[in-house]
Amino acid sequence: PAVVGWSISFAGCGFMGIYYVGVISCILQRFPRFIRDASTIYGASAGALMAAIITLGIPLGEWGFSPARKHKLGPLHPAYNLLQLVQESLLEKLPEDAHLRVSGKLSLSLTRVSDGRNLLVSQFDSREELIQALICSCFVPLYCGVVPFHSSQYYVDGAVSDNLPRCQLGRTITISPCAGESDLCPRASTLTFHEVRFNNVSF
């Protein structure tokens, strides 16, 4: 019998997010209804961006950022503003009705600065509010600059408080670029008897 009512959760992973492109390309080729029929698609940090892209059905080939390798220090070079590149891409690629299309299906993990608590946001009143929530979810403290706000409060990277949203719920398929116990993740290159958990992500 067909499994119904599943969700998908993407872990935050920084620059390792390119792993998701391969995973999603394979899924779209072999089993597209896995994404199309998911009840909720969760994401934290870089995983939030991928969750939004696939919820909207935007072709993966349309996304790309200025290569960091052109700077000597790569993404750590002061001239490389990753957050600005993300914001510009979102403004360019997200359709005007993006907030209507994702509300109730996309759920983003944010960390509230005032008390460090996690917030899952799944309703968006405007395209601008959706973009702001995505920026907050992948905002790495110190690296990204001034703390952004969403709905009149300050939030930072959702990975700080919950890096794999709703992973404990049944029928939630977890995806991570780190070898560990997520449902979809790389195989460990060596035999190991140790596991570390950080904000719900297995390493």
Look at residues 135, 128, 126 and name the one whose alpha carbon lies nearest to residue 100. 126
Return the bridge partners of 197, or none.
Answer: 202
pLDDT in tens, the chain (203 residues): 344 589 999 998 877 888 999 999 999 999 999 999 999 999 999 999 999 999 999 988 765 544 544 545 444 434 445 677 888 889 999 999 999 999 999 999 999 988 999 999 999 999 999 999 999 888 876 545 555 555 568 888 888 899 898 887 889 999 999 888 889 998 876 655 555 555 556 54
The answer to whether residue 9 is catalytic is: no
Q: Are 175 and 184 in contact (CB under 8 A)?
A: yes
Exactly one of 7, 9, 45, 109 is catalytic; which is it?
A: 45
Residue 20 CA, chain-centre distance (Å), reads 10
Domain ranges of the chain: 7-202
Alpha-carbon gap, residue 159 to 140, rounded angstroms: 9
Exactly one of 9, 157, 162, 202 is catalytic; which is it?
A: 157
